[in-house]
């Protein structure tokens, strides 16, 4: 169109290539704009100066008011309620209406300045603002109910108005209701997406309510009165024909950039074409096309089902009927052109006629005169002629329209595009400030109104309107002309529409178009999501959330299933992209870390694990759910990166190992290796959690096992240093009430550290972890053994100081002087030994070590570790390695040692050594002083893998020079001989090259298989501690024993009997003893006091010494106890103190027993029996000592003091005076009784496993305590040794006992061997030749 050459080049560039001709678009849009002005009621000026005109005007007003009174409002809405579905108004209307009513009530709206109108509006505004009213309106959103509410308020207000006489208030009510309806129509024009049906209804309501006189707002003048009455009012039309009064025309002019002058010409050109009659004809044509099945506006083929077709047809015919009724209501002359017979509008079914004047069109009122057309009045004849030519029969089926373009949807799409481009240009123009808000719909309100008007006249479905708008926004977004926020806004329109009309009821073309658009959107935003993945792993939710929201909405619609194959491909591309970006990020990060300076090759790997875990946790927190329901972002990232790290770790295996082993300070510290293990373990756990179906072939335990083994070796090597350092730094001073020093705590802290370290590793393989703990337990056992030996050496140095290194401090005390006075002339005096606090602390350390070791046992869960190895270990392969065996060799005692000099009174200070074939000393006992029958009672462990010859040497200790050899013998530790795992008593005859036979020594030997087992190692550690404790305890007793033995000796007895009484006060002496004991041991008044039994009171003879005299002889011993027990009480722990006291008491009982009878042996004894007086003195000593230790209930309990040994000693008195024959008979009877009672055979040796923790040790003590007591036969035989001619009897009895015991042991051994059926072990080598006895 040449006259419209005003478009700029920029405007043309924004227009789509595929387009409707702009001239044609302008033509049809302008027609709709003109029609909108034609059918809009216009106010006309009238001449009211004459009385006749006023009278006629009043008559017209009154007549209209009666015919259109307030009562008719219910009739207007009745048919709609009964028939058509109610159309809801938009929610935003309430907000706009509220502001409009407020402005009217406050007088700010000039169009509603009438006082009555303002008053009515104000009253309705008050009701409108109430919560119940607003709640009700929001719930139903019915426009009819809103109008009725206003009508009720207007009636209530105007009926009371005094200025309105007679029925004048009714006229005013109609006027104000009409104004309210018009105001609602104006408010809706400011909103978008308003239903055309709602606009049509409001137009119809306004036309019916407006009174038919010149003062109404209909836009038509009354030309004449009713023909029946013959009254008429002559007026001249004064309708403006200028485009400035045509709002839509001006919108079109601005849209197409047409000058007003040119636009006026265009309007004048189309004036005769764009008539109301032509509009009604278009509507009637649409109805006829529907019934005839024409392509436009729709037919059955356009829908997928009969339900959808019937739904659309019912709705469309209803809307068309309403539009025609509304237009005919505005101009009743239009209805005259329809004959009464066939002037009907077909219903949705096409069979039932609907009267145009029924709602679909109001009933004709005879009071309404004819109306002039927009462009001038015609006479009645012309109108009739025109009506005749416009009957229904002449309306042709097809696309014969005045206002509807040839292809309405294409024209509508072009119009929307044109409006969007125009509004975008305006938004980017200088007239719009950057701070101004612009709608996300882009379209301005005038353009929205124009588009809606065209859509209504062109019969564009709502489904196509929303879909077309979404399509246009999508295209603009693709060209980057609009922001992404516009897409959700357009999608919102689709969502609302789908809530009202299911997709199944849409026209096929519209649903397919929407599916195509959705597919395009899905593709677009999937591509955006694809490129957003470049930010991984630092991707933020805010970046992709808009894409995800749109993608989820599109996916949930179900319309893109037809593109499933293409979408699957795109999703596969997205997945690949995520993994590619993850791999690229990993590679770049790893190169960056490896490029950093430093020799620690583990550091880049450690830092990489931190990066991977941090990134995974961050992504999991930001994206807990899969993207668009199928893309698990965290899983894909982890699946791509963790295998790369594992591969890098495997490639670095050799370099890592070499760098961690290159010297005392390796390039890669072992701590970093284990940190890498933990981090790798965490990554594998994360991989398993996020990628449950993933297959990652990597044995974590196998990879890091060499490092653990090396760490175990290093730990084992360092343990000795820990022990030495702890002992060197220890001053052996008690640090707490338990009495132990710092070294034992430091050592166990060091031992606890590797256990905690292994536990913190959380090793994946339980069996491997159990093997690690077994290795640690072996290290612990070695550390305990080393500590025991070191502490024992220090202890022995303190207990046996060399004269040059240490001089025993001698105190000038009363008890020492008394001891010197009482010592017999010519006999060797025993110097009393004072104990040092440091020695007590060392014993406390050993006792504390047992508790701490038990804590380690529990911490390591040793029993669980042993079960794991037993139940989950791999099958044991055939090994050629020799098994190892652990021998427990107890050096018990020696008998009949011969002094090396010729003096008959000479005694020996002996100790025992065991040496191997090469002369290496394996065992050394403590020294027993001044005895020819020493008892060492020491046990030592010797581990062998083949038969081993040992040389047992007894030496006489010399203060200066070499120790003399008393005698030697040999014993072979052959596993075959001790395979029954029972204890064997072996007597070795001692030989001396110079002196021949030198007595014999008793070794108690047992064997058990040495195993690489965690319980075995803990058992050995406990046994080391127990033996050290026992050895140190014996040293304490050995140091006290000589003085006790000297104080309770036969020479003292003889001296006491010869010397007579010294006049000591017994009560005072006993009181002093009790007080000293209390100060030494501490008092405990809560203990029960047990009085001495009556049957144990001494026999009283007139010639006997008094108790005071008898007690005086051992007062130096009590003083010695007071001095030393005070030290022990102060520095020993409670447990150690109790053990020492019981050991001292046991030693006293042994010494008392030794005073009365000799030891059991088949050899004759030169010991003479004591006299009755001497026996009485000895038992009084025993009573005094028992009372001393009991201390009136504050010392040791009577239950412990009067133990089995005590009862055995007391029983000596019973048999001591018996005749020899009677004793022999009693001995035989006792021996036969013991045989009948089936004394159990010797039990298996006390195994290491029975001592693996404090619980098993206590259990074994309990069982041992319950064993049957020994009979009195041995006591009788010991008494018989002092009688003449009894040696042969004693030898027979001992031989009989040995024979019976041997038979039972043999039977038990056979039984055990049959039950065990142990698999044949590796061959044990033959026993080597006996080594030569070289000194």
Q: Give dist(CA 997, CA 649) in Å, integer.
A: 73
* Residue 1008 · residue 886 · CB < 8 Å: yes
> Which is nearest to 658 in space by CA: 701, 593, 699, 599?
599
DSSP structure class, residue 824: P
Q: Nearest 5°: phi and psi at 991?
A: -125, 150
* Residue 1030 · residue 1136 · CB < 8 Å: no
Q: What is the pLDDT of residue 56?
A: 39
What percent of the chain has pLDDT above 90?
A: 11
Residues 537/538/543/547 CA torsion (nearest 10 deg): 10
Is the Cα torsion angle 135, 140, 142, 148 positive or negative in sign?
A: negative
Q: What is the pLDDT of residue 368?
A: 27
Is residue 811 predicted with pLDDT exceeding 70?
no
What would the pLDDT profile of 994-1030 be if each residue is shown by its tens digit?
Answer: 666 778 888 888 887 667 788 888 888 888 888 888 8
What would the pLDDT profile of 216-247 be if each residue is shown by its tens digit?
Answer: 333 333 333 333 333 333 333 444 578 888 88
Q: Give dist(CA 1056, CA 1050) in Å, integer.
A: 10
Q: Give dist(CA 589, CA 209) in Å, integer.
A: 79
Give 754-788 as a DSSP string. HHHHHHHHT-S-HHHHHHHHHHHHHHHHHHHHHHH
Is residue 581 predicted with pLDDT exceeding 90?
yes
What would the pLDDT profile of 1281-1326 be if each residue is shown by its tens digit?
Answer: 888 888 888 888 888 888 887 777 777 767 756 655 554 445 566 6
Segment holding 886, helix H or strand E: strand 884-895
Cα–Cα distances in Å, from 308 out to 286, 290, 319, 1002, 1158? 19, 14, 17, 114, 125
What would the pLDDT profile of 1138-1168 be if each residue is shown by its tens digit?
Answer: 888 888 888 899 998 888 888 888 777 788 8
Residues 8/13/14/16 CA torsion (nearest 10 deg): 130
What would the pLDDT profile of 1077-1119 be if each residue is shown by its tens digit?
Answer: 444 444 443 333 334 444 444 444 445 678 888 888 888 888 8
Is residue 929 predicted with pLDDT exceeding 60?
yes
Q: Give dist(CA 789, CA 1028) in Å, integer.
A: 8
What would the pLDDT profile of 694-724 be if each residue is shown by its tens digit?
Answer: 888 888 888 888 888 888 988 888 888 889 8
Note the pTM of the prediction, 2 decimals: 0.61
Least confident of 125-139, 489-503, 569-583, 1243-1257: 1243-1257
Query: Which token pair is 1217?
Result: 């005076």
What would the pLDDT profile of 840-855 be if each residue is shown by its tens digit?
Answer: 888 888 888 888 999 9
Q: What is the pLDDT of residue 803?
A: 55
Is residue 453 predicted with pLDDT exceeding 50?
yes
> Which is nearest to 227 in space by CA: 437, 54, 326, 367?
367
Task: Give the pLDDT mean for 410-424.
Answer: 92
DSSP helix/strand/coil, 412: helix
Is residue 1048 predicted with pLDDT exceeding 50?
yes
Q: Give dist(CA 884, CA 112) in Å, integer.
A: 117
Q: What is the pLDDT of residue 942?
A: 86
What would the pLDDT profile of 1163-1190 be if each residue is shown by its tens digit?
Answer: 777 888 888 888 888 888 998 899 988 8
């Amino acid at each position: 169109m040449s006259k419209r050459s005003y478009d700029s080049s920029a405007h043309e560039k924004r227009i789509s290539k595929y387009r409707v001709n702009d001239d044609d678009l302008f033509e049809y849009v302008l027609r709709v704009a003109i029609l909108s002005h034609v059918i809009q009621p216009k106010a006309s000026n009238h001449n009211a100066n004459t009385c006749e005109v006023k009278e006629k005007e009043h008559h017209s007003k009154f007549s209209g008011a009666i015919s259109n009174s307030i009562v008719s409002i219910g009739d207007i809405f009745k048919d709609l309620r009964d028939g058509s579905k109610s159309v809801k108004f938009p929610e935003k209307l309430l907000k706009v209406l509220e502001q409009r009513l407020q402005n009217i009530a406050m007088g700010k709206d000039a169009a509603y300045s009438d006082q009555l109108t303002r008053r009515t509006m104000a009253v309705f505004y008050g009701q409108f603002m109430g919560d119940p009213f607003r709640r009700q309106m929001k719930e139903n959103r019915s426009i009819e109910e809103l109008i009725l509410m206003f009508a009720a308020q207007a009636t209530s207000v105007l009926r009371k108005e005094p200025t309105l006489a007679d029925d004048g208030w009714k006229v005013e009510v109609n006027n104000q209701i009409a104004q309210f309806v018009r105001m609602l129509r104006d408010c809706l024009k400011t909103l978008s997406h308003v239903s055309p049906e709602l606009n049509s209804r409001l137009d119809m309501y306004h036309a019916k309510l407006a009174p038919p006189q010149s003062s109404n707002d209909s836009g038509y003048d009354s030309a004449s009165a009713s023909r029946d009455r013959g009254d008429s009012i002559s007026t001249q039309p004064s309708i403006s024909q200028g485009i400035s009064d045509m709002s839509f025309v001006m919108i079109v002019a601005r849209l197409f950039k047409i000058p007003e002058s040119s636009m006026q010409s265009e309007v004048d050109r189309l004036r005769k074409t764009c008539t109301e009659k032509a509009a009604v004809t278009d509507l009637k044509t649409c109805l006829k096309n529907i019934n005839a099945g024409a392509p436009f506006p729709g037919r059955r083929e356009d829908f997928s089902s009969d339900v959808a077709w019937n739904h659309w047809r019912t709705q469309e015919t209803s809307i068309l009927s309403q539009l025609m009724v509304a237009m005919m209501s505005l101009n009743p002359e239009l209805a005259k052109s329809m004959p009464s017979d066939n002037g009907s509008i077909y219903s949705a079914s096409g069979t039932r006629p609907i009267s145009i004047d029924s709602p679909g069109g109001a009933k004709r009122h005879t009071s309404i005169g004819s109306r002039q057309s927009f462009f001038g009045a015609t006479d009645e004849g012309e109108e009739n002629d025109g009506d005749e030519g416009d009957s229904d029969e002449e309306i042709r089926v097809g696309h014969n329209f005045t206002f509807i373009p040839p292809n309405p949807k294409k024209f509508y799409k072009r119009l929307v595009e044109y409006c969007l481009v125009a509004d975008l240009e305006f938004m980017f123009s200088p007239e719009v400030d950057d701070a101004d808000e612009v709608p996300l719909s882009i379209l301005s309100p005038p353009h929205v109104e124009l588009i809606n008007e065209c859509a209504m006249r062109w019969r564009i479905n709502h489904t196509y309107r929303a879909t077309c708008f979404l399509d246009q926004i999508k295209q603009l977004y693709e060209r980057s002309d609009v922001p992404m926020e516009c897409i959700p806004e357009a999608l919102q329109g689709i969502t609302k529409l789908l809530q009202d009309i299911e997709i199944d009821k849409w026209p096929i073309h519209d649903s397919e178009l929407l599916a195509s658009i959705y597919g395009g959107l899905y593709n677009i935003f999937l591509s955006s999501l694809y490129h957003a993945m470049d930010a991984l792993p630092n991707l933020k939710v805010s970046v992709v959330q808009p894409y995800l929201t749109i993608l989820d909405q599109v996916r949930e619609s179900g319309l893109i299933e037809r593109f499933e194959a293409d979408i699957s491909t795109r999703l596969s591309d997205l997945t690949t992209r995520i993994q590619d970006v993850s791999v690229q990020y990993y590679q770049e990060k790893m190169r960056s870390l490896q490029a950093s300076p430093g020799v620690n090759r583990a550091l880049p790997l450690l830092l990489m694990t931190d990066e991977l875990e941090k990134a995974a946790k961050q992504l999991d927190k930001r994206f807990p759910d899969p993207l668009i329901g199928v893309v698990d972002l965290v899983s894909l990232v982890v699946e791509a990166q963790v295998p790369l790290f594992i591969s890098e770790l495997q490639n670095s295996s050799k370099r890592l190992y070499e760098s961690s082993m290159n010297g005392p300070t390796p390039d890669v510290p072992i701590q970093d290796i284990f940190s890498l293990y933990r981090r790798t373990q965490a990554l594998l756990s994360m991989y398993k959690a996020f990628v449950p179906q993933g297959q990652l072939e990597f044995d974590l335990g196998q990879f890091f096992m060499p490092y653990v083994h090396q760490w175990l070796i290093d730990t084992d090597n360092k343990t000795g240093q820990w022990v030495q350092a702890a002992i060197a730094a220890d001053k052996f001073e008690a640090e707490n009430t338990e009495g132990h020093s710092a070294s034992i705590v430091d050592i166990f802290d060091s031992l606890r550290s590797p256990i905690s370290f292994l536990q913190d590793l959380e090793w994946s393989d339980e069996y491997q972890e159990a093997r690690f703990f077994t290795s640690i337990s072996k290290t612990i056992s070695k550390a305990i053994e080393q500590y025991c030996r070191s502490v024992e050496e220090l202890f022995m140095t303190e207990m046996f100081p060399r004269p040059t290194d240490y001089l025993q401090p001698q105190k000038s005390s009363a008890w020492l002087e008394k001891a010197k006075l009482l010592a017999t002339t010519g006999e060797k005096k025993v110097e009393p030994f004072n104990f040092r606090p440091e020695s007590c602390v060392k014993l406390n350390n050993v006792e504390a070590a047992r508790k701490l070791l038990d804590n380690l046992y529990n911490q390591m869960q040793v029993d669980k570790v042993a079960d794991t190895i037993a139940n989950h270990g791999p099958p044991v392969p055939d090994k050629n390695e020799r098994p190892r065996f652990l021998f427990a060799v107890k050096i018990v005692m020696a008998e009949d040692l011969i002094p090396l000099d010729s003096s008959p009174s000479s005694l020996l200070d002996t100790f025992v050594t065991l040496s191997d074939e090469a002369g290496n000393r394996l065992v050394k006992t403590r020294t027993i002083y001044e005895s020819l029958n020493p008892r060492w009672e020491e046990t030592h462990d010797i581990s062998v893998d083949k038969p081993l010859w040992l040389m047992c040497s007894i030496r006489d200790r010399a203060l200066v020079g070499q120790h003399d050899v008393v005698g030697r013998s040999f014993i072979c530790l052959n596993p075959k001989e001790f395979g029954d795992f029972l204890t064997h008593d072996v007597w070795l005859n001692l030989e001396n090259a110079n002196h021949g036979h030198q007595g014999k020594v008793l070794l108690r030997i047992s064997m058990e298989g040495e195993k690489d087992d965690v319980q075995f190692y803990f058992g050995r550690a406990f046994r080391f501690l127990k033996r050290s404790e026992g050895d140190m305890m014996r040293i304490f007793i050995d140091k006290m024993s000589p003085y006790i033995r000297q104080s309770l000796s036969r020479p003292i007895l003889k001296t006491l009997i010869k010397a007579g009484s010294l006049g000591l006060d017994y009560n005072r002496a006993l009181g002093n003893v009790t007080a000293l004991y209390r100060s030494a041991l501490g008092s405990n008044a809560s203990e029960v006091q047990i009085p001495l039994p009556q049957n144990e009171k001494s026999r009283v003879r007139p010639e006997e010494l008094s108790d005071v005299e008898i007690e005086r002889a051992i007062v130096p011993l009590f003083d010695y106890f007071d001095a030393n027990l005070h030290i022990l009480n102060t520095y020993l722990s409670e447990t150690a103190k109790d053990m020492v006291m019981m050991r001292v008491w046991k030693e006293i009982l042994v010494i008392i027993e030794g005073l009365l009878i000799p030891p059991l042996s088949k050899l004759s004894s030169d010991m003479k029996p004591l006299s009755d007086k001497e026996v009485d003195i000895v038992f009084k000593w025993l009573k005094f000592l028992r009372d001393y230790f009991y201390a009136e209930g504050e010392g040791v309990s009577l239950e412990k003091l009067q133990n089995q040994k005590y009862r055995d000693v007391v029983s000596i008195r019973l048999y001591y005076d018996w005749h020899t024959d009677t004793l022999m008979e009693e001995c035989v009877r006792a021996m036969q009784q013991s045989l009948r009672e089936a004394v159990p055979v010797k039990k298996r040796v006390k195994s290491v496993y029975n001592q693996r923790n404090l619980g098993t040790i206590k259990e074994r003590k309990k069982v041992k305590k319950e064993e049957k007591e020994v009979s009195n036969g041995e006591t009788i035989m010991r008494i018989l040794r002092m009688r003449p001619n009894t040696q042969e009897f004693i030898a027979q009895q001992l031989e009989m006992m040995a024979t019976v015991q041997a038979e039972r042991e043999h039977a038990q051994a056979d039984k055990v061997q049959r039950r065990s059926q142990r698999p044949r072990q590796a061959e044990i080598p033959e026993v080597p030749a006996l080594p030569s006895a070289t000194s």
